[in-house]
Structure 1
Amino acid sequence: MEGSKSQGTKRRRGSFRARIAIVFILQTLVVVIASLMAANNVAPIGAAIAIMLSSGGLAWLAVSREWVPIATLARLLDGWDPDKPDMAQLDQESGKRSNGDVGSLIRGLHGLASRIDGYGERERNFTRDASHELRSPLTVIKMSSDMLADESDLSDFGHRSLERIRRSTRELEALVEAFLILSRESDQGLAEEDFVVNKILRQEVEYARELIAGRPVELILDEPASFALHASPRVFAVLCGQLIRHALQQTDQGVIVVTVMPGSVSVINPAVDLPEEGSRRHASVDRHGFDLAIARRLSDRFQWPLELRSLPGANRVASVRFPHPQPVEA
């Protein structure tokens, strides 16, 4: 049964082209016959011309009739809403058309629209569930850490372990926030407002200083300029936070400077030295640059160009330029 259905589909496939070819061949035959009749004085020239014009009109009507399904499908797709695909209308059009080519096209669009609708549903489910299911345990961990910090009989080893838990929780919070932003297909759900970038950066620098406790690394915020943006402060904080964390992961010791310039933010950190043979680097230093990869994706997503370069003196600079900075009102 399936084999016969497949063979019927193959026979119908290309029917639009075949019908147009038949119309073209018949039109050519009529023109040739009418020309021969006029040349051999079998029919008057006026009658031959009338026959040619009539055949041309009939050919136009036949071609227009074959083009109706294509025009109907074009109008359907012109008003297509990707967020709310009308699958029933596609099914209705598929049932109306006997043309194999148009039917194949509609079936392909139906399958594509179904997959896109499924992707959108999974995206919404993931962002909703992940936002709740991941943040709730993190909140519990933070509250439990604060309660443990108030214990007076906690040993030095317990305090160090507690600080590591706090740092890891902070890093996981930033990672979850970045993933939730990137998992969305569009920017919907991210509230935009006017905010001063310096204020957000001060908060991110304070968060990052918790990650370098006990390490010979100093984090400085340099603010020779200030500006505002109309965007999502949440996205800005995640992007700059990822750049700062990347610099912290790439630095064993030294000074990291976060600088605010007119319309841009840069993070400067010492270059990574190759380890000597037999030596061991700080256990928390990661050379894979995972935070930088997330920052790149965020900058591409929101069209905030990210540039990496090296400065004289073996320093590395990661800078983000914001195309539409705004002055800070008094």
Structure 2
Amino acid sequence: MPHRKGLRRKIWTAFILQAAAISFAAVLGVYGASAVLKHVLIQQALQEEAAHYWQRLQARPGAEVPDTYNMTGYLLPAGADASKVPATIRGLAPGFHALPRAQGGSLVLVDQDRNGHRLYLLFKQEQVDSLAFWFGMAPLAIVLVVIYVIAWTTYRASKRAVSPVIWLASQVQRWDPKQPEPALLSPENLPTDVEGETLVLAQSLHEFASRIEHFVHRERDFTRDASHELRTPLTVIRVAGDMMAGDDSLSPTARKALGRIQGAGRDMEALIEAFLILAREGDTGLPDSDFDVSEVVLDEVEKARVLVGSKPVKVECRIEQTFELHAPPRVLSVMLGNLLRNACHYTDAGQVVVVVRDGEIEVSDTGIGMDDVVLSRIFEPFYRGNNPGKEGQGVGLSIVQRLSQRYGWPVRMQSRPGQGTTATLVFPRSGPRP
């Protein structure tokens, strides 16, 4: 479903604002024109009429004042009785005046010649309104109608022009990011109005989606084949190592080398398992199930006891309060196994303790610990801190962090140099699902 603030909505808003702005400008222009008509043109016409009358009066004493359909005149000779002049204009000083509507609303010019005669010229308000309408409002209405028709026609044309883009966006919006459908944009499925730049974009997206689909199939084939092909030789190495370990005739040097081979094999199995889970993006390919956390913890602790070898390190597990999770148990095994492997590798003496509480698992050790600088970078891939001689590939904590982000299981790390490290996995009961 297209977003409410899509191209159509934006185009419609733009044309509404444009039509409103043009209408406002047109109304303002007509209002200004009517003001010019009222206060400039009519005023000038009255002044010219008064000047013409004074010329006629000088040439022919007793000339009649102007009295037409639009204009009425009154002459008040010097010293004469002003009762013949209407009371509404009798007291007006020489100049141009506009009477209020209550007094007729006429435009009045009061002019006086050098002999003291005063001339009153009234231009009827009805004629002013009529002129303002025919020369202002009527053209304004016609102009606004033309503007609206042009704006609507342009909007329809613009809407048709962007329709292919909107259609293309709706098709892409329906795609599953993990499995796009390039067939939707194949040439035979494109509407006839998809052309020009939109056609180029559709063809590019079709090619891009086809490549993504190919990559997705190739990645799935790789993870399927790798999970089989990589585990098979490791299984052979592990079984052969176990058989050799049962040979009492091995020398201490050979037995030590065999122990390293077995440890490296276990590390490689765990690393391959973690990489295969991470390679599947959001879909791990592992089924979710309800499982008891303590069972997974006890199993991983038992595996970790082999990692310490002959070092004076005791690996313990304390179940204070167990709980259940609904997730792939193998994911928790990978995360906890990496934390335990890291703790065993960096602890030369003392203990590694795993504590299970309600909603969290804590792995603490008495190893070499870390300062704040190293602690701030421990989740960087292949970062080994100041201990490059220790075993491991430097990716265990990076794997833990990536899985914790995917499953919404935050991991907290606390450490002090020489005092050990504590890692805590937290399991929010309403955490996001992968």
Letter in 2 for 1:82: P
Of 195, 213, 230, 1:98 maps to 195
Aligned to 1:301: 406
Aligned to 1:125: 221
Which digits, 9 at most, give the CA deviation of each residue in 1:111-169, with x for residues without a partner?
Answer: 54244324322321221121011101011112222333344544443333332222221
Aligned to 1:204: 300
Deviation at 1:291, TM superposition (A): 1.6
Letter in 1 for 2:360: S
**Counterparts of 2:407 and 2:235, CA distance in 1:** 28
Q: Write the mapping of 1:19-34 to structure 2, written as runs, cut at 5 A.
A: none
Q: Write the mapping of 1:68-79 to structure 2, written as runs, cut at 5 A.
A: 68-79=163-174
Higher helix share: 1
Of 357, 368, 382, 1:261 maps to 357
Deviation at 1:322, TM superposition (A): 0.6
Relative distance call for 1:73 and 1:185 in structure 2 (3 A) is same
**Counterparts of 2:368 and 2:330, CA distance in 1:** 30
**Counterparts of 1:321 and 1:273, CA distance in 2:** 21
**Counterparts of 1:179 and 1:236, CA distance in 2:** 14
- Secondary structure of the residue aligned to 1:251 is coil
- Secondary structure of the residue aligned to 1:213 is coil
Of 162, 182, 189, 1:67 maps to 162
Which digits, 9 at most, give the CA deviation of each residue in 1:93-122, with x for residues without a partner?
Answer: 38752232x234324433542443243223
**Counterparts of 1:322 and 1:112, CA distance in 2:** 39
**Counterparts of 2:389 and 2:352, CA distance in 1:** 16
1:322 aligns with 2:427: yes
User: Which stretch shows the higher mean deviation, 85-94 or 314-323?
Assistant: 85-94
- Secondary structure of the residue aligned to 2:186 is helix
Q: Percent identity?
A: 37
Aligned length: 293
The answer to whether the 8 A contact 2:298-2:317 is kept is yes
Over the aligned positions, Cα root-mean-square deviation in angstroms equals: 3.6
Deviation at 1:232, TM superposition (A): 0.9
- Secondary structure of the residue aligned to 2:314 is strand
**Counterparts of 1:91 and 1:138, CA distance in 2:** 45
Q: Which has the larger radius of gyration?
A: 2
- Secondary structure of the residue aligned to 2:230 is helix
Relative distance call for 1:289 and 1:39 in structure 2 (3 A) is farther
Aligned to 1:167: 263
Q: Which runs of 5+ in 1 are unaligned?
A: 1-16, 275-281, 326-330
**Counterparts of 1:57 and 1:39, CA distance in 2:** 26
**Counterparts of 2:360 and 2:287, CA distance in 1:** 21
Of 290, 306, 310, 1:214 maps to 310
Of 146, 167, 182, 1:87 maps to 182
Of 233, 237, 241, 2:329 maps to 233
The answer to whether the 8 A contact 2:409-2:428 is kept is yes
Aligned to 2:396: 291
With the length of structure 1 as denominator, give the TM-score of the two structures.
0.76
Letter in 2 for 1:161: A
Relative distance call for 1:273 and 1:143 in structure 2 (3 A) is closer
The answer to whether the 8 A contact 2:350-2:367 is kept is no
Deviation at 1:218, TM superposition (A): 1.6
Deviation at 1:56, TM superposition (A): 3.0
Relative distance call for 1:204 and 1:60 in structure 2 (3 A) is same
Relative distance call for 1:219 and 1:284 in structure 2 (3 A) is farther
Of 310, 326, 329, 2:415 maps to 310
Letter in 2 for 1:57: W
The answer to whether the 8 A contact 2:369-2:416 is kept is no
**Counterparts of 1:242 and 1:273, CA distance in 2:** 16
Letter in 2 for 1:227: F
- Secondary structure of the residue aligned to 1:97 is coil
The answer to whether the 8 A contact 1:309-1:318 is kept is yes
**Counterparts of 1:148 and 1:312, CA distance in 2:** 39
The answer to whether the 8 A contact 1:257-1:267 is kept is yes
User: Which stretch shows the higher mean deviation, 122-131 or 104-113?
Assistant: 104-113
Letter in 2 for 1:315: G
The answer to whether the 8 A contact 2:182-2:207 is kept is no
